A = this chain, B = another copy of it.
Amino acid sequence: MTDSINAAFRSIDAATGEPFGDPFETHGLADVEAACIAAEAAFEPYRQASHEARAAFLEAIADGILEIGDELIETAMRESGLPRARLEGERGRTVGQLKLFAQVVRDGDWLGVRIDPALPDRQPLPRPDLRMRKIPLGPVAVFGASNFPLAFSTAGGDTASALAAGCPVVVKGHPAHLGTGALVAAAIEKAVESSGMPRGTFSHLVGPGNELGAALVQDPRIAAVGFTGSRAGGLALVKLAQNRPVPIPVYAEMSSINPVLILPEALKARGAALGKEFVGSLTMGAGQFCTNPGLVLVLEGEGLDDFIAAARSALTEAAASTMLTAGIHAAYEKGVEALASSGDVTEIARGKPGERTCGQAALFETTAERFLANRALGHEVFGASSIIVRCRDEQEMLAVITDAEGQLTATLQMDAGDVALASRVLPALERKVGRILANGWPTGVEVAPAMVHGGPYPATSDGRTTSVGTLAIERFLRPVCYQNLPSDLLPTDLRD
């Protein structure tokens, strides 16, 4: 059942802005309802399938994505404007993530089993037999991100962790990579069938506008939402979810400027090298990373001139690269223009200009005083734009951190002599972010058990969670306690 074939709903070549390929079938509200009914029907059999069957299903999805072959990479390249190497890497990450979650399912730690045996002779009252395990919440709606057409989209982290938890998934496909999404969705649907999972375990819906996504979040069968995208988009979904008759959790990963603190000894020892590395991180992928370093805090002192000179030089040479969509490019240009004309920053350099939707990198500087006086300077400009904030002393640096909104990451560039200062700023950083790095750059998020890709509001809508790494599965689970159940009624996970 599909709404219609909408001639206007075609893939867009990110570089040229021109549509290409056949139009896609678009879905309507009846399709949303049908997908949610199917997901609800699939929930019981899917969650009751053995852990081994669920793990094998995740692996079958991974294999299916690889089997698509180069068509997937070429489609994603054309739709996103991202280069081949990046997308091949992203495919590897997506496949590896599915396989990692297969292992998580097999290991069973996610069940959170706790067993308190009965104490029949306890005084004054006996203790009953209590056993806890976690169960999946129910069908999950996933909204893919534009900036990771594979790893944060149709079969990305939200989908992988929700399926691993035992939740059927209904994906609202991102309109910026329709062809990529359709190829991956077909691979998942094939895996559903070959693995013998119930049909509604996975559905994929596409269509223009916000109506489809809104209906999906409001469907009473949906039990949770995963989202990666803009703050406005995420907060709109949060509001819809809160106003349902039965509110549901929304895990929205939204916006972050990822402060980088360059501490004095590091600045003195390697200011120029850091300036160059910083621009490498800033301009990678046209700056279209959630963890892009959009704010650099430096203490006035030795090495700062070298840092800025090296950053200026590298940025001036930075080639413009195609941004994901014309809309993202327009928003980037608008954001950079707003900064440049704010009167509160000085331009250090601009990257090479480019054609059409190529993003021209931009680097500004200002003082802590001015930064603190103009909160707009702390808003994310999605793309390769950043501000260096000069702090006169440690107190100013701390004030900027304390005043900042919640962030995904904070980075310390530090040498041995900076440890004392780093120790003093660390507690303030912990309260603001989900991940703290030393002597690296925030772009690049490892998929691993100890990863946190999350952080206090408004970096995400729920700072108690992560959307990358194996802990992401906990977003889709809740605990149930079984008291004195006869052993033949107990879930097998909880039997002696």
A: residues with CB less than 8 A from B are 44, 48, 89, 114-116, 124-125, 127-128, 130-132, 135, 137-138, 242, 246-247, 249, 406, 412, 414, 416, 419, 422-423, 426-427, 430-431, 433-440, 444, 446, 448-452, 454, 456-458, 461-466, 469, 471, 477-486, 488-489
Min distance, Cβ A434 to any Cβ of chain B, angstroms: 6
Q: Contacts A437-B484, A452-B479 given; 16 further ones with Cβ under 8 A?
A: A48-B427, A89-B124, A132-B471, A249-B464, A416-B486, A419-B488, A434-B479, A434-B480, A434-B481, A435-B482, A437-B483, A446-B483, A450-B481, A452-B481, A465-B479, A469-B481
**What residues on B are CB-neighbors of A462 within 8 Å?**
249
A131 and B461 alpha carbons, distance in the complex (Å): 23
Identify which of B124, B450, B464 contacts A478 (C-beta below 8 A). Answer: B464
Identify which of B427, B433, B480, B486 contacts A438 (C-beta below 8 A). Answer: B486
Question: What residue in chain B is nearest A477 (Cβ atoms)?
Answer: B464
Identify which of B249, B471, B480 contacts A452 (C-beta below 8 A). Answer: B480
A242 and B249 alpha carbons, distance in the complex (Å): 12
**What residues on B are CB-neighbors of A440 within 8 Å?**
128, 483-484
**What residues on B are CB-neighbors of A128 within 8 Å?**
437, 440, 446
A477 and B44 alpha carbons, distance in the complex (Å): 31
**What residues on B are CB-neighbors of A437 within 8 Å?**
128, 483-485
A487 and B262 alpha carbons, distance in the complex (Å): 19
Min distance, Cβ A73 to any Cβ of chain B, angstroms: 16
Given contacts A124-B89, A423-B489, contact A130 B446 (CB under 8 A): yes
Min distance, Cβ A11 to any Cβ of chain B, angstroms: 29
Most buried by B among A242, A430, A461, A488: A430
**What residues on B are CB-neighbors of A48 within 8 Å?**
427
Question: What residue in chain B is nearest A449 (Cβ atoms)?
Answer: B114
Given contacts A448-B116, A471-B132, contact A483 B438 (CB under 8 A): yes
Q: Is the CB of A484 within 8 A of B446?
A: no
A458 and B244 alpha carbons, distance in the complex (Å): 12
Min distance, Cβ A248 to any Cβ of chain B, angstroms: 8
Which 9 A-B pairs give the minimum distances between C-beta atoms?
Answer: A452-B481, A130-B450, A114-B450, A132-B450, A437-B483, A435-B481, A464-B478, A116-B450, A116-B448
Most buried by B among A114, A246, A481, A486: A481
A479 and B465 alpha carbons, distance in the complex (Å): 7
Q: Is the CB of A489 within 8 A of B433?
A: no
Question: What residue in chain B is nearest A224 (Cβ atoms)?
Answer: B464
Given contacts A249-B464, A449-B114, contact A436 B135 (CB under 8 A): no
Q: Is the CB of B457 within 8 A of A127?
A: no
A-B contacts, 24 listed (Cβ < 8 Å)? A89-B124, A114-B449, A114-B471, A116-B446, A127-B446, A128-B437, A128-B446, A132-B449, A132-B452, A246-B458, A414-B489, A419-B488, A423-B489, A430-B480, A434-B480, A435-B482, A436-B482, A436-B483, A438-B486, A452-B481, A464-B477, A465-B478, A465-B479, A466-B479
